[in-house]
Structure 1
Amino acid sequence: MTDAKPSLATTLRRIGALTAPYFRSEEKWQARGLLAAIVLLNLGAVYMLVQINEWYRVFYDALQNRDQVVFWQQIGRFCWLALIYIVVMVYKFYLTQLLQLRWRVWMTDHYVGRWLADKAFYRLELARYTAGSDDLPDNPDQRIQEDLNLFTTYTVTLSMGILNAAVTLVSFVGILWTLSGSLTVPLPGGGTWEIAGYMVWAAVLYCVAGSAIAHWIGKPQVRLNFQQQMLEANFRHYMIRIREYSEAIALDGGERAERPQLDLRFTEVMNNYLRLIRNQKSLTWFSSFFGQAAIIFPLIVAAPRYFSGAIQLGQLMQINSAFGRVQESLSWLVDNYMSLAVWKATTDRLSGFEHSLAAQSGRREGFEATTAPGAIDARGIAIDLPGGRRLLDRTTLHVAPGDTVLVHGPSGSGKSSLFRTLAGIWPHARGRVALPADTMFIPQQPYFPDGRLRDALAYPEPAGQYGDEALRQALEDALLPHLADQLDREDAWGQKLSGGERQRLAVARVLLKRPAWLLADEATSALDEEAEATIYQRLVEAVRRAGGGLVSIAHRRTLGAHHQRRWTLRPEPEGSAAAYRVEVS
């Protein structure tokens, strides 16, 4: 999906592809305006540094000459220069943070929308467990929550840093060239070699050597940062899984098995982090030495001209200041290598996420899901497992108004895959499925959001669409009378309720909304036979009153009494195109 070691050009293209949508979006004028203001403030900050550099010469010459009048004049001038510089820096910081905030809000909204659109969140999670799909993005939640924040932060700060370094270099290299004069170097065979602007060449050599060494030391950080984000997310994801399945794990005494798994993942996090900080330590050793040496290096190089009387103290300090600015500009890579490593790793992760979202969105080739009134109609459908094994081939099914159909067959025959295909969410299906608009589904594991019971019951619609009496009646009809007076109670209903109560709450949701067509996958497997019979009698009556039909997947033979027709999945002979066929009776 992505290059193992993408080139600089590839990384820049990825950054551009991730950046461009925001600056072309409906917020483009605000975004471009903020960016332009930040650029102007960066240019203003460099201009103020040039003025302060000139101030060094006048101020220190006044000290050397013991000129008290000029000294106090320059103190006053410095106060004004410092005040203007502070204002520029404060607003540069504020507008930079504001741009990062607005950009992150937009990108989060953009990616959350795309992740939820076209069932991409479901297909991505399903595809991750497909053989040969190890390159699909892990932990989309982390990429949206953390990586987007890092990307917007580093893109703005580092790109402005590059701009600031370039403008500072252009502004101060001329000053340094003029101030440094020429250096005469005696040659071994007699004669001399005059080096014009020698301080500029000294700065270039100093920084090129430093940048090369920093790149050599810090290069592993790109890979290590990428792995660190992935391993941290995996560790967090595993703990979330334990929380979600806490009851099952507790009943199995699974904490003894889960602890080694958590320890293993945390050990991987710490081992990679240890490798990262060791590399950062090496880079910090060098960058600290490099930065401290830069303080005295220009003074050493310029000292001969000062002691010869060619320049005064003011010019020496001005040279030192200008050299420092040129050195900072040329050493930008050294000073920001760790940040660049995080930026690149984050860009690679988001590019992979973007690629996967693009691959999952849109129509699926060979499959068509449409809305049609009056019946459930599936024509020529073929269903595969993620690994490629075909379960059903060229199957045509029809459910007319008033029909109640029971789907049964051996475990692994594809009953749930058929259910997902009829729902239009199974990505490994071909053919055409037409469903009435007024259709609901009850999966094996219904979802209930944390919060008020009324919100869990009305999900995914707003609870305000239904009156309290309708909500209570739905709970009564689903054999949950003890919850009828708890509509405003907030709780984690998916964890709080028993398996049977969760299934009855899912049924209550159906009875509340009264769809004409219903597809249920093991919707009452946790109920006793008496409760199941009552629930199914009410479901059948509800869909028939609405002029629709019911399709149920179940193993219990007792449900046959509530269904007129059967779809039985039978094994096909060995060598057939599919593993099973559907017998309609």
Structure 2
Amino acid sequence: MNQNAEYSAVNDAVRGQFLRRTWAMITPYWRSEEKGRAWLLLAALIGLSLFSVAISVWINHWYKDFYNALEKKDTAAFWQLIGYFGAIAAVAILGAVYRLYLTQMLTIRWRAWLTEKHFARWLADKNYYQLEQGGYTDNPDQRISEDLNNFTSNTLGLGLGLLRNIVSLVSFSIILWGVSGSIEVFGFTIPGYMFWCALVYAGIGSWITHLIGRRLIGLSNQQQRFEADLRFSMVRVRENAESIALYNGVPNENQRLSARFGKVWRNFWDIMKVSKRLTFFTAGYEQIAIIFPFIVAAPRYFAGKIELGELMQINSAFGNVQGNFSWFISAYADLASWRATSDRLLSFHQAMSENEQRAPAIDVRPEGERLVVNDLGMDLADGRHLLTDADMTVEPGQRVMLSGRSGSGKSTLLRAMGHLWPAGHGSIRLPAARYLFLPQKPYLPIGTLKAALSYPQADSVYPPERYAQVLETCRLPHLVGRLDEANHWQRMLSPGEQQRLAFARALLFAPQWLYMDEATSAMDEEDEATLYQALIDELPGLSIVSVGHRSSLKRFHGRHVRIEGGRLQEQLVS
């Protein structure tokens, strides 16, 4: 599935049920083992949000008294109200600081919980591998790191902002209704007319804002994807710097990176165009909102029905009511970003769910003491058959070499044994014993050399002297003094050194069954012979299933099986 198809499918699936699916993504944290502290923090934030509304109401009443004191030139009242405002401001600052602090605390705790859950699900059942192979979703690293961060912060920010606006709307609507009076229009008396003016003004503004800015949701979604693709391409250059340099591939890579950035550029220009039109309207809307209440309330003031303080109170109350009604307008860009982030997380969840629900075509499970391949067929994504009706049994202690032409399915057979090949039929019964896979390109995690050697176990599992022993055995004596050095070993070591390090890892791990996929392809024959002999000598009774091309490997295997014409064929041992 390509990326455009993914987003089209996601949009079709999510449309009409977006809020339900997003709610299902929000609620687990609030029912989790952390729910006690989460609800306590949320209650404190709601309390502080309501307190901020109370401060706004407090200041609204202060406006009336303050401007009346100015109109009457009452010096004593003026200075008294200035001191009164200082007390209000001090309390407001304290509330704002702790509202921000507790919001950040709840955000990071929620993000940490979601991140751990996503890590566990992404890594479980080899989801991380299948999603990459199938192309079901782009940049899962960005979705877990950046999108989860944006999702938690925006959800809390928008949710608390909406709550604050609703409470503020109710509070100031009551004030505005009380102070605005009524007006005669075509013989009809309209009570609380300033309230209705604010409602109509904000309603029209919200409708126009949505018409202008609705494209921002899709554009924001694409911008996040294009930015992530660009970052990934640059990481690829860093990871393959030596090969690119030797190929003199700079012009090609420059062209690729420029093409990636071109998508970022063009999409950002589209965002700029929409944002410009939206800002033209919202800026004008906000400027008109400053004078609109004065225009509407001025007739009553000039008629002497209200004083200057009441006019300013009406202006303040109208501004708050209109602003609360206009929350959709002011929050539109954040809502668009939140919707785009949620869509990406929902598509990620959907891809993982589909992968989890997909029943494995090849039945692979640990059982018994032998390796048994029964009626195995393996297919490529385009439907071509690699292997047909294959049967093979490997007894404990046997060493089997798999050979065949390139592309015949040797490595794919090992992937199937490792639960990594989805297409095909039949069954594989792996021995229920300690095993290890050695791929052609070893994985060396960034960290100490000791941690790279002991992977996938912790570096504290083995005694320090054992690390030195296996390095010496595997012809890596120059690395003994660097066991505690942290580095990017996959870049530091040559391919041959990496493969020798993988053999050292196997000697440390001491498996009963070892599956190797051209694990000596980067070594010379002398190193290859030394390392195979070390396995045989130090791990007596070790069972080996090994994929290889070199004839020099045959003497280390008592049994040879060749894949020819889609079938497993036993070969005579010479």
Structure-2 residue corresponding to 1:140? 140
Structure 1 counterpart of 2:495, which letter?
G
Structure-2 residue corresponding to 1:167? 167
Structure-2 residue corresponding to 1:394? 389
Q: Is it true that 1:564 corresponds to 2:558 in the alignment?
A: yes
Offset at 1:51? Answer: 2.0
Which of the residues 295, 298, 313 maps onto 1:300? Answer: 295
Structure-1 residue corresponding to 2:111? 104
With over 3 angstroms needed to count, the CA separation of the structure-2 counterparts of 1:118 and 1:3, relative to structure 1, is closer
Offset at 1:363? Answer: 7.7
Structure-1 residue corresponding to 2:570? 584
Q: Percent identity?
A: 45
Q: What secondary structure sits across from 2:470 in the alignment?
A: helix
Offset at 1:241? Answer: 1.0
Structure 1 counterpart of 2:87, which letter?
W
Structure-2 residue corresponding to 1:324? 319
> Within 2, Cα distance between the matches of 1:363 and 1:516?
31
Structure-2 residue corresponding to 1:436? 432
Q: Larger deviation: 162-171 or 383-392?
A: 383-392
Structure-2 residue corresponding to 1:421? 416
Q: Larger deviation: 289-298 or 473-482?
A: 473-482
Query: Deviation string for 1:303-348 (max 9, x for gaps)?
Result: 0000000111111011000000001101111111111111000000
Instruction: Verify the 8 A CA contact 2:367 2:429 in the aligned structure 1.
Output: no
Number of aligned residues: 563
Q: What secondary structure sits across from 2:381 in the alignment?
A: coil
Structure-2 residue corresponding to 1:456? 452
Instruction: Verify the 8 A CA contact 1:451 1:492 in the aligned structure 2.
Output: yes
Structure 2 counterpart of 1:396, which letter?
D
Offset at 1:194? Answer: 2.1
Q: Is it true that 1:150 corresponds to 2:144 in the alignment?
A: no
Offset at 1:372? Answer: 3.5
Instruction: Verify the 8 A CA contact 1:477 1:511 in the aligned structure 2.
Output: no
Structure 1 counterpart of 2:455, which letter?
Y
> Within 1, Cα distance between the matches of 2:551 and 2:80?
100
Offset at 1:42? Answer: 1.2
Q: Is it true that 1:466 corresponds to 2:462 in the alignment?
A: yes
> Within 2, Cα distance between the matches of 1:437 and 1:425?
19
With over 3 angstroms needed to count, the CA separation of the structure-2 counterparts of 1:167 and 1:5, relative to structure 1, is farther
Structure 2 counterpart of 1:224, which letter?
L
Q: What secondary structure sits across from 2:382 in the alignment?
A: coil
Q: Is it true that 1:56 corresponds to 2:63 in the alignment?
A: yes
Structure 1 counterpart of 2:172, which letter?
F
Structure-2 residue corresponding to 1:577? none
Q: Larger deviation: 486-495 or 359-368?
A: 359-368
Instruction: Verify the 8 A CA contact 1:168 1:329 in the aligned structure 2.
Output: yes
TM-score, L = length of structure 1:
0.92
Q: What secondary structure sits across from 2:405 in the alignment?
A: coil
RMSD across aligned C-alpha pairs, in angstroms?
1.8
Which of the residues 487, 493, 497 maps onto 2:489? Answer: 493
Which of the residues 83, 95, 99 maps onto 2:102? Answer: 95
Which of the residues 35, 46, 50 maps onto 1:39? Answer: 46
> Within 1, Cα distance between the matches of 2:12 and 2:62?
48
Q: What secondary structure sits across from 1:433 in the alignment?
A: strand
Matches within 5 A, 1:119-138: 119-128=126-135, 136-138=136-138
Q: Larger deviation: 343-352 or 417-426?
A: 417-426
> Within 1, Cα distance between the matches of 2:449 and 2:525?
26
Structure-2 residue corresponding to 1:575? none
Q: Is it true that 1:262 corresponds to 2:257 in the alignment?
A: yes
Instruction: Verify the 8 A CA contact 1:436 1:517 in the aligned structure 2.
Output: no
Structure-2 residue corresponding to 1:28? 35
Query: Deviation string for 1:432-482 (max 9, x for gaps)?
Result: 432333111100111101222111111121222222321111112112222
> Within 1, Cα distance between the matches of 2:437 and 2:13?
44
Structure 1 counterpart of 2:101, which letter?
Y
Offset at 1:71? Answer: 3.2
Structure-2 residue corresponding to 1:133? none
Instruction: Verify the 8 A CA contact 1:55 1:74 in the aligned structure 2.
Output: yes
Which of the residues 190, 193, 202 maps onto 1:195? Answer: 190
Matches within 5 A, 1:506-525: 506-525=502-521
Instruction: Verify the 8 A CA contact 1:118 1:362 in the aligned structure 2.
Output: no
Q: Is it true that 1:284 corresponds to 2:279 in the alignment?
A: yes
> Within 1, Cα distance between the matches of 2:58 and 2:12?
44
> Within 1, Cα distance between the matches of 2:284 and 2:433?
70
Offset at 1:373? Answer: 5.0
Q: Larger deviation: 193-202 or 342-351?
A: 193-202
Q: Is it true that 1:333 corresponds to 2:328 in the alignment?
A: yes
Q: What secondary structure sits across from 1:4 in the alignment?
A: helix
Q: Larger deviation: 283-292 or 392-401?
A: 392-401
Offset at 1:351? Answer: 0.5
> Within 2, Cα distance between the matches of 1:478 and 1:557?
21
Structure-1 residue corresponding to 2:3? none
Q: Larger deviation: 405-414 or 379-388?
A: 379-388
> Within 2, Cα distance between the matches of 1:334 and 1:363?
43
With over 3 angstroms needed to count, the CA separation of the structure-2 counterparts of 1:8 and 1:364, relative to structure 1, is closer
What are the ranges of 5 or more consecutive residues in structure 1 without an aligned counterpart? 129-135, 572-579
Offset at 1:417? Answer: 0.9
Instruction: Verify the 8 A CA contact 2:369 2:433 in the aligned structure 1.
Output: no
TM-score, L = length of structure 2:
0.94
Offset at 1:7? Answer: 7.0
